[in-house]
Amino acid sequence: LTADRFLDLLAGINGHTVDARYRRDLCDRLQLDTTRQMHQYSRGNKQKVGIVAAFMAQPDLLILDEPTSGLDPLVQQTVLSLVREARDAGHSVFLSSHILSEVEAVCDRVGIIRDGALIQTSPVEALTRHAFKRLQLTLRSAPPADAFSTIDGVTETGRSGHEVNLEVRAGLERVMQTALLYGLDDLDVLPVTLEEIFLGFYGRGSANGGNSHA
C-alpha cells in the first residue's frame, strides 16, 4: 500500500470522519510523500505516517509514545507544534518521552514513573519551582571547601574563584548566614530543568538499577 491508501484504510476501520485538507496539511508540514509505498519508507518516514494517522481525525484523546523518535530536528519541532495545537484546541494528550526537554516544552503536567510505579505527578511549573533551588553565590573572599557542604540539604556543585554553585533542598537560611560571613556580593537563582529533577528522582533509592521515564 501507498501511505495514502494506508491512511484511507485506517480512517475506514476507525470510522472517523477525516478532513482531507487537514490530513494533507499534516503531510505537508511533516514533509511526507504519501504516494510512495510503505515498504520503501525509512524509519523516520514510517514514524511520520504514524503521526498523521494519530492526528488526522482530530480525536479528543491522543496517546503518543516517543512521537519524535527517528525524526530530524526540524520535523521534531513540527510534531511538538502539533501537540501544542491539539492541547490548545482542548484535546487531551498523553505524551511518553525520554526527551525531557520536549516534555517540559509542551506538557502542562508531568508524571514520573520508576520501576513501574508512578512516583510523582505535578504541574511542570510547580515541579521545576519547588523541587530544589540552584544558587550561584559571588563572594568577596573564597570560603573553605566545606563551608556549605556541611549544611544539611545543601550540595556544592562547583566553584570558580569566588563564585560558588549550590544545590539547595533545605537549609536556605543557613546558606545565607554562611555566605554573609565571606561577603556576599551577588546572588543568582538559576533555573532548574525537568531533566535535573527527573535525575533527582531516578537517583533516590535506585541503587538496584531501576528504569524511569516521564
Distance CA 129, CA 52 (A): 35
Grid cell digits, residue 18: 477525516
pLDDT at 206: 43
Q: What is the reported pLDDT for 97? A: 85
What pLDDT, on the 0 to 100 scale, is given for residue 214?
A: 61
Residues of the chain with pLDDT under 70: 128-131, 199-214
pLDDT for res 157: 87
- Per-residue DSSP letter, 143: P
Q: Over the stretch 73-130, which tens digit does the pLDDT of each residue have?
A: 999 999 999 999 999 999 999 999 888 788 888 988 988 888 888 887 888 777 766 5
pLDDT attached to residue 47: 96
Q: What is the pLDDT of residue 131?
A: 63
Instruction: Supply the pLDDT for residue 203.
Output: 60
- Locate the DSSP E strands across the chain: 61-65, 92-96, 109-114, 117-123, 133-139, 154-160, 163-168, 184-190, 212-213
Residues in the chain: 214
Contacts of 82 (CB under 8 A, 6+ apart): 26, 29, 51, 55
